[in-house]
Amino acid sequence: MKQIIPMLVALLCLTGFAQAKPNAQEAKKLLEAGNARFVAGTTTHPRSDMTRAALAAKSDQADYAIATILSCSDSRVPPELLFDAGIMDLFIIRIAGNVCSGDEIGSAEYGALHVKTPLLVVMGHSKCGAVTAVVKGLKGEGHALEKNIPPLVSPVVPAAQKVLQSFPQATTENLVIRSTEENVWQGIENIFLRSAAIREAALAGKVVVAGAIYDLESGTVRWLSEEKSAELLKRAEANPASDTQKMAAGGHAEPAPAKPATQPDAAEGSTAPRKTSGHAEPEHGAAHH
């Protein structure tokens, strides 16, 4: 019997049955190991074939996915490749500038609370075009942007403004580097301020929210301070402006009300409305540091 049990476990693993999910620290170690393989050129492209796809088709992803990752849309930053991960491993949200507004926070809630990933990562990257556009705009070095881009990147503005105030003499390149990290913190703070459900899960130890920066040149993902993330959680808990409503009214999905085509994008959330003026502007109610 003693020999049969390990054999059964090995067989279950080989046949791809769901195993116990890793905790947040184990998930982070798996991502670190995958990124190390990527950097070393020893990727194995695991769980990326039709066998895994067939398993995914009949599985609940909540039994498998280990991390929710909010990353930039940039073609140079594909999470599955740079973490050497496969199908059903990562729940990914990608948007220019890895901004955290209402839709992204809703997706993060889905990943953390329905797909039950123990780790939620907000990942910025070097040479981010969205962050660069905001920094240059604030410095008066910007250029015309298409109509829908300024409201999209507006959540980056408070982060870049804070950096610009702290380092007024810094070069644009240096400001972009600093703003990229600050934008990750801003994103994490936005998640905590606007999602009572993620705050509750984080306080209960069910999810860890982590920051990271991907470096285009080295291929390395640098993990940011977990202590600072925990501090932002505490601060959001103590902030009276934090959203306290955990569940949606009615508790089920409803169709979005149709908006007249001529009406500019209305404010989508109570704490961080998007601006619609011609250039990137700070949001009201954005997190204070």
Q: How far is the CB of 84 from Zn ion (least distance, A)?
A: 21
Q: How far is the CB of 76 from Zn ion (least distance, A)?
A: 8
Distance, in Å, from the CA atom of 145 to the CA atom of 96, rounded to the nearest integer, reads 14
Strand order in the sheet with 67-71: 90-94, 67-71, 119-125, 208-214, 221-223
How many angstroms separate the Cα of 126 from the Cα of each of 75, 97, 132, 133, 213? 13, 11, 10, 13, 7
* Residue closer to Zn ion, measured from CB, 128 or 188: 128
In 3-state terms the chain splits into helix, strand, coil percentages (rounded to 5) of 45, 10, 45
Type of residue at 207: V
Q: How far is the CB of 141 from Zn ion (least distance, A)?
A: 18
* Residue closer to Zn ion, measured from CB, 74 or 243: 74
Q: How far is the CB of 102 from Zn ion (least distance, A)?
A: 20
Query: Dihedral of CA 118/269/272/193: which sign?
Result: negative
Distance, in Å, from the CA atom of 230 to the CA atom of 203, rounded to the nearest integer, reads 9
Distance, in Å, from the CA atom of 30 to the CA atom of 41, rounded to the nearest integer, reads 17
Task: Give me the residues that bind Zn ion (CB under 5 A), please.
Answer: 72, 74, 128
Q: How far is the CB of 215 from Zn ion (least distance, A)?
A: 13
* Residue closer to Zn ion, measured from CB, 76 or 284: 76
> Across-strand partners of 119?
67, 208
Strands (E), the chain: 67-71, 90-94, 119-125, 208-214, 221-223
Q: How far is the CB of 130 from Zn ion (least distance, A)?
A: 5
Q: What is the DSSP string of 83-139?
A: TT--TTTEEEEE-GGG---HHHHHHHHIIIIIS--SEEEEEEETT-HHHHHHHHHHT
Q: How far is the CB of 216 from Zn ion (least distance, A)?
A: 10
- Asked whether 130 and 153 are in contact (CB, 8 A), the reply is yes
* Residue closer to Zn ion, measured from CB, 72 or 210: 72
* Residue closer to Zn ion, measured from CB, 179 or 271: 179
* Residue closer to Zn ion, measured from CB, 87 or 130: 130
* Residue closer to Zn ion, measured from CB, 74 or 281: 74
